[in-house]
Amino acid sequence: MRHTLSALGLILLAGPLAATSAMADTFRFTAIPDEDESRLVERFTKVADYLEEQLGVDVEYVPVKSYGAAVTAFRNNQVQLAWFGGLSGVQARRLVPDSVALAQGAEDAAFTSYFIAHDSTGLESGDELPDAVEGMTFTFGAKTSTSGRLMPEHYLRQRFGADPEETFSRVGFSGDHSRTIALVEAGTYDIGAVNFSVWDAAVEDGRVDTDKVQIIWTTPSYPDYQWTLRGDADERFGDGFTDDVRQVLLDMTDPELLASFPRSGFIPADNSMYAPIEEVAENLGLVR
Amino acid sequence: MSLKYGDRYPGLLRGTGIGARLARHSLTLLAITLLLMPLADLHVLSRDPWAELGRIAQGLLMPHFGSIDAPFKALGLTVSVALWGTLAGVVLGFPLALLFSRSRLVRAGCAFVRAIHELFWALLFLQIFGLSALTALAALAIPYAGIFAKVYAEILESTPSAADDALPQGTGRLSRFLYCELPLAFGQLAAYTRYRFECGLRASVLLGFVGLPTLGFQLESAFREGRYFEAGAVMWLFYALIASLPWWAHRRLLLPLTLGSLLLLGPWPQIDGALLWRFLSTDIWPAPLLSGDLPGLVAWARDIPELLPAIGNTLLLGLLGTAGSLVIAMLLWPLASRHFGNRLTRAAGSGLLVFLRSTPELMLAFVFLLLLGPSLLPAWLALALHNGALIAFLVARHADSLEPGMPDLPASGRLAYELLPRVYPGLLALLYYRAEVILRESAILGMLGVATLGYVIDDYFQTLMFDVAFALLLITACLNVLVDALARRLRPRDVTHDDPCLRQEQLSYPR
Amino acid sequence: MTAEVLVELDQESLGYGDQVIIRDVSLSLHAGERVALLGESGVGKSTLLAALRQRLGQQAAWCPQHHGLVGPLSVYLNIYMGRLDQHSALVNLWNLARPLPRAWQEIAELCGPLGLEGMMKRSVSRLSGGQRQRVAIGRALHQQRDIFLGDEPVASVDPHQALGLLEMIDQRHRGSIIALHQRELALTHFDRVWGLADGRLVLDAPSNRLSLADLDALYPSAVASLPESTTVQAQEKSATPEGSLRCHRGRS
């Protein structure tokens, strides 16, 4: 342990030296698309170029792998702006005081999740989840995904009054929405919970064999993805910067840029819209 | 052991000879494994793994290099992190090696830091330094410092003392070290450091799995999203990197490479002192502990529901992995040995072993997981294949160095009477050395969705509950230290070297 | 013998830890005396030499069995190590990077007669067995002590070279004790013979009063006519023809 600490000390000494040379005042942002992470840097660099042009500051895109990493980067001030999911946005705003939700996707005000099932289960689409799902296998998406985990778990608990682990014979986390679809399609899991926009896009592109996997239930709607900016942005980039960023985001109309998220456009949002998400997260013990 | 007139006829597996002892040993291990196997979740969850396997194979055979995002940047960063991480490990580990035999504290500290996997360290440093080069370097340097301290100390201790004894009495400690121990051990120290650098390359790739932009970053998303042509391209890039190691990591290129790669490292973090202090002083400690509320601490611990099953699964997977490695090693080593088969089978066998041992377990497990679903089975397969191949490779090299006394025996006789008795003690020793590594990997495989400790740890990192994550890391480390101690007690004596890849030719075997 | 006594043992038992290897040994080395130490392998010659080395401390130069050299380092550095205690660690460190001019000069002068000329920069691991032997002797000579203690220092050189090396040792020391296997050499080139057998000093006599037959008693297993040892004896005889040794007997 002492060794660890001394090593840490060494690193601490080296750190500030290295830090002085880095990043003067570049505005950094991150985003995880809810599907298709190929050419992540290339696509989001275009978004960065747009922001740079509109805001008049250097803008850089920082690629991240998971919601957790995005929150960490936001908290460490490695990024000042982030495209978060509902839950990760709540986590981030709790960790960084005064940070604000600026805008959400046009689709995010009333977001839903689909419960999808493999054909062999014989489950039919209906107004509520059938009792027959009990004892089957089930997969969420990422562990801190709002549409892939938080809200589906919330509605599952409401419906069956028990932990998902008790309802199903096996509960897994696929890691992301595309994977959830693939796993249910392959029959690895009987049922999965997936973000509606990812499913719709996959069906539209013909990437899903709908003979093998179908929607069996749609959740009620809830707010999801949003842009969140750190509270100290004005201090660092000048008064009115927060409003500028919000406006620039709302003004983003280029379909090529919007396709990276993928959204049809952005609409205003504020922190209070996400109170229901926060409440559910607290109930499930995902934030404290 | 000559069978003298009057020797009693031995019963099955009786006898006090080293052969009988080792056979009993191995069979006990296998028996325990078989006994505990029903407790493990080994279901094949996928209904059609073959179609997926076909797509993966197709991707590997027909990689699409154009689809990789900035391959040279990822490649450069992978190498830089491995190089500087290893170097920092040497700088931290070498002084500790000199204290190693003298200080119990140093030994315990080193055992602790190396018991935690590079990826877990990365998750921890990610919270402090974010997605930066510093996170990557620290994640490699700290466990490697512990490993270097131990292995360097063992190498230095085993240097012949004759030259040291010949020095005039009254020669200072430092002078003795500079003129005797260091030059005599230098070759071995350098060889081990080189091997560790190769491990560092693999670890550096894997850091991409937690989000640092090395090769693994794209590899993980490409595999996860089923873009196997892209994943295949990254895999080939990785194999090319490992295979060309002797050329680009040549002794003469090392200095320019080291200095040049410094430029590729980055980004460097801005360190927020307050945040760092909060993390170290508050975030990682349970709140009841900090307020001195003991009953609260018990309640806090009870709130970690998955703890005991996760520990059980980790130990079980470690055991399964160890036994599986034994079986795989026994099956595979003759394939690559000059004593069996023809040139074609040997080339194929060696190729298979090199392929399996250069692919990190995590990567293998990741692919098997896609195929079979998240039970312990894919993790078991990955551990057994990777470690089994690694051991088989070394055993085959050892067997190649042996001259059979009766070369005309049929292959089976050569195996059973000439070679196996000579290589088996070494094989078993390597297996027990490897047991610690296998357990470490068992824990980390949880990050892929297998229900071991890594799964729970990742869970709590994702939900930003660092106190629980940190406590679980401590538990993981303690398990590892315990298993290491157990394995050391069990392993055949006289086989002295710590790391299986260390000094391949120099394995010494019991007489 | 009235010469000054350089070192003396009186009824002492020697060994490591609790294990006694030589019992009740009494002996003394006088100034100007050359002693050959004989006995079978494993009888305790090295133990006795180690004990004497301990006793003599800074007076004794030491040339161990199997040379005890550092293979990766150069001939120069290996010989320099004889005086490693005379310099500070910092100087020694500097010397690794760049030889000290004075030490270089001294060692070059030593290397000439040792037959190591032009090899000072070569690493010891690339030398032949005989050359290594001479490096090990060179290191002991470089120590510049009164008494030379050698554990088979001429085992891996040919008889002619052995004589030259023993000559060099004689010239630079006031006394010497050298463990040997060549019995003829012990008679021709030494003043006194100490013989060890069965954990005791069984022979302590001037060499001119001894014959080869007397020395044979020290090698009981050789006398037991085992085939290997007879061939060794035969080799020894053919390798050291008595005629060529005679003329070197005694000091000039």
Q: Which residues of A touch B277 (CB under 8 A)?
A: none
Kindly indicate the confidence band of residue C223, based on its pLDDT and cuts at 50, 70 and 90: low
CB burial of B56-79 (b: ≥16 within 10 Å; e: otherwise) equals: beebbeebeeebbbebeebbbbbb
pLDDT of residue B402: 84
Residue given tokens 């012990």 in the structure block: C186
pLDDT of residue C33: 85
Q: Do chains C and A touch (3 or more CB pairs under 8 A)?
A: no
CATH number where A30 lies? 3.40.190.10
Question: Phi and psi (nearest 5°) for A29?
Answer: -140, 160
Q: Is residue A11 part of a domain?
A: no
**Residue with more model confidence, C85 or A129:** A129
Q: Pairing state of beta strands C34-38 and A266-268?
A: unpaired
Nearest in space to B177 (alpha carbons), one of C70, C66, C60, C102: C70
Over the stretch B325-383, which tens digit does the pLDDT of each residue have? 999 999 999 998 888 888 899 999 999 998 898 888 888 998 888 888 888 999 999 99
Q: Give the mutation candidate from C54, C75, C85 for the B interface (greatest B CB count, under 10 A).
A: C85
Classified as helix, coil or strand, A102 is strand
Q: Is residue C33 part of a domain?
A: yes
CB contact under 8 A, C143 and B168: yes
The answer on pLDDT for C161 being more than 80 is yes
Q: Which residues of C touch B174 (CB under 8 A)?
A: 89, 92-93
Q: Which residues contact A171 (CB under 8 A, 6 or more apart)?
A: A137, A138, A139, A140, A164, A165
Q: Is residue A133 part of a domain?
A: yes
Q: Is residue C94 part of a domain?
A: yes
> How close C82 comes to chain B (CA, Å)?
6
- In angstroms, the CA C55 to CA A254 distance is 93
> Are A118 and A210 within one domain?
yes
Q: Which of A214-228, B30-44, B468-482, C172-186 has the lowest mean pLDDT?
A: C172-186
Q: Pairing state of beta strands A213-218 and A113-118?
A: antiparallel
Beta bridge partners of C193: C36, C205
Q: Is residue A100 part of a domain?
A: yes
**Residue with more model confidence, C238 or C24:** C24
Say how many domains are in chain C: 1
> Are A159 and A62 within one domain?
no
Q: Is residue C252 part of a domain?
A: no
Q: Is residue C10 part of a domain?
A: yes
Kindly indicate the confidence band of residue C174, based on its pLDDT and cuts at 50, 70 and 90: confident
Q: Is residue A125 part of a domain?
A: yes
CB-CB contact of C30 with C7 (8 Å): no
**Angle (nearest 5°) at CA B139 between B135 and B143:** 155
pLDDT of residue B234: 93
> Are A104 and A229 within one domain?
yes
Closest A-chain CA to B224: A179
Kindly indicate the confidence band of residue C233, based on its pLDDT and cuts at 50, 70 and 90: very low
Domain B53-264 in this protein, CATH class = mainly alpha
Say how many domains are in chain A: 2
> Domain end: A167, A188, A218, which one?
A218
Terminal C-alpha separation, chain C: 20
The answer on pLDDT for B97 being more than 70 is yes
Q: Which residues contact B280 (CB under 8 A, 6 or more apart)?
A: none
Kindly indicate the confidence band of residue C238, based on its pLDDT and cuts at 50, 70 and 90: very low
> Are A243 and A205 within one domain?
no
**Residue A54 C-beta-side C-alpha neighbours within 13 Å:** 18
Spans in chain A with pLDDT lower than 70: 1-24
Classified as helix, coil or strand, B78 is helix
Kindly indicate the confidence band of residue C222, based on its pLDDT and cuts at 50, 70 and 90: low
- In angstroms, the CA B70 to CA B67 distance is 9
The tokens describing B351, both together, are 């190729």
CB contact under 8 A, B166 and C68: yes
Over the stretch A106-142, which tens digit does the pLDDT of each residue have? 999 999 999 999 999 999 999 999 999 999 999 999 8
Classified as helix, coil or strand, C71 is coil
- In angstroms, the CA B383 to CA B324 distance is 8
**In the sheet where A170-173 sits, what is the strand order?**
A170-173, A137-140, A191-195, A113-118, A213-218
> Are A155 and A237 within one domain?
no
Q: Is residue C251 part of a domain?
A: no
Kindly indicate the confidence band of residue B494, based on its pLDDT and cuts at 50, 70 and 90: low
Q: Which residues contact C103 (CB under 8 A, 6 or more apart)?
A: C80, C83, C95
The CB density around residue B492, as the number of other CB atoms within 10 Å, is 20
> Domain end: A202, A218, A234, which one?
A218
Nearest in space to B282 (alpha carbons), one of B30, B491, B466: B466
> Domain end: A168, A191, A218, which one?
A218
Q: Pairing state of beta strands C147-151 and C60-63?
A: parallel
Q: Which residues of B touch A71 (CB under 8 A)?
A: 464
Closest B-chain CA to A25: B270
> Are A145 and A90 within one domain?
no
CB-CB contact of C218 with C202 (8 Å): yes
> Are A189 and A279 within one domain?
no
Average pLDDT, chain A: 88
pLDDT of residue B341: 85
CB contact under 8 A, C85 and B165: no
CB contact under 8 A, B268 and A77: no
Kindly indicate the confidence band of residue B6, based on its pLDDT and cuts at 50, 70 and 90: low
B250 DSSP assignment: -
Kindly indicate the confidence band of residue C184, based on its pLDDT and cuts at 50, 70 and 90: confident
Dihedral sign, Cα of residue C37, residue C39, residue C40, residue C43: negative
CB contact under 8 A, C72 and B165: no
The tokens describing B484, both together, are 């290491």
pTM: 0.83
Helix (H) or strand (E) holding C75: helix C75-80
- In angstroms, the CA B117 to CA B314 distance is 14
DSSP string, B354-372: HHHHHS-HHHHHHHHHHHH
Q: Which residues of C touch B172 (CB under 8 A)?
A: 85, 88-89, 92
Mean pLDDT of B274-278: 83
Average pLDDT, chain B: 86
Q: Which residues of C touch B186 (CB under 8 A)?
A: 72
> Are A130 and A144 within one domain?
yes
CB-CB contact of A33 with A262 (8 Å): yes
Q: Which residues contact A56 (CB under 8 A, 6 or more apart)?
A: none
Over the stretch A92-108, which tens digit does the pLDDT of each residue have? 999 898 999 999 999 99
pLDDT of residue B342: 87
Q: Is residue A9 part of a domain?
A: no
The answer on pLDDT for B510 being more than 50 is no
Nearest in space to C49 (alpha carbons), one of C71, C85, C17, C21: C21
> How close B236 comes to chain C (CA, Å)?
39
CB contact under 8 A, B163 and C68: yes
CB-CB contact of C155 with C181 (8 Å): yes
Terminal C-alpha separation, chain B: 12
Note whether C70 contacts B: Cβ–Cβ < 8 A: yes
pLDDT of residue B501: 38
The CB density around residue B14, as the number of other CB atoms within 10 Å, is 11
Q: Which residues contact A11 (CB under 8 A, 6 or more apart)?
A: B134, B138
Mean pLDDT of B126-146: 92
**Which is the CATH superfamily of the domain at B304-506?**
MetI-like (1.10.3720.10)
Average pLDDT, chain C: 79
The tokens describing C86, both together, are 């005379």
ipTM of the complex: 0.83
> Are A139 and A124 within one domain?
yes
- Domain enclosing residue A195, as ranges: 113-218
The domains of chain B are located at: 53-264, 304-506
**Neighbouring subunits of B (3+ Cβ pairs under 8 A):** A, C
- Domain enclosing residue C232, as ranges: 5-246
> Are A145 and A185 within one domain?
yes
CATH number where C209 lies? 3.40.50.300
CB-CB contact of A5 with B112 (8 Å): no
> Are A32 and A88 within one domain?
yes
Q: Is residue A240 part of a domain?
A: yes
- In angstroms, the CA A148 to CA A88 distance is 12
> Which ranges of A56-163 would DSSP assign to H, the alpha helix?
67-75, 86-95, 151-160
Q: Pairing state of beta strands A81-84 and A226-229?
A: antiparallel
CB-CB contact of B315 with B436 (8 Å): no
CB contact under 8 A, B224 and A179: yes
The answer on pLDDT for B4 being more than 70 is no
Closest A-chain CA to B89: A7
Q: Best-predicted range by mean pLDDT among B36-40, B267-271, B287-291?
A: B36-40
pLDDT of residue B19: 75
Q: Which residues contact A14 (CB under 8 A, 6 or more apart)?
A: B134
> Are A102 and A122 within one domain?
no
pLDDT of residue A24: 52
CB-CB contact of A129 with A156 (8 Å): yes
CB contact under 8 A, B171 and C62: no
Q: Is residue C73 part of a domain?
A: yes
Q: Is residue A41 part of a domain?
A: yes
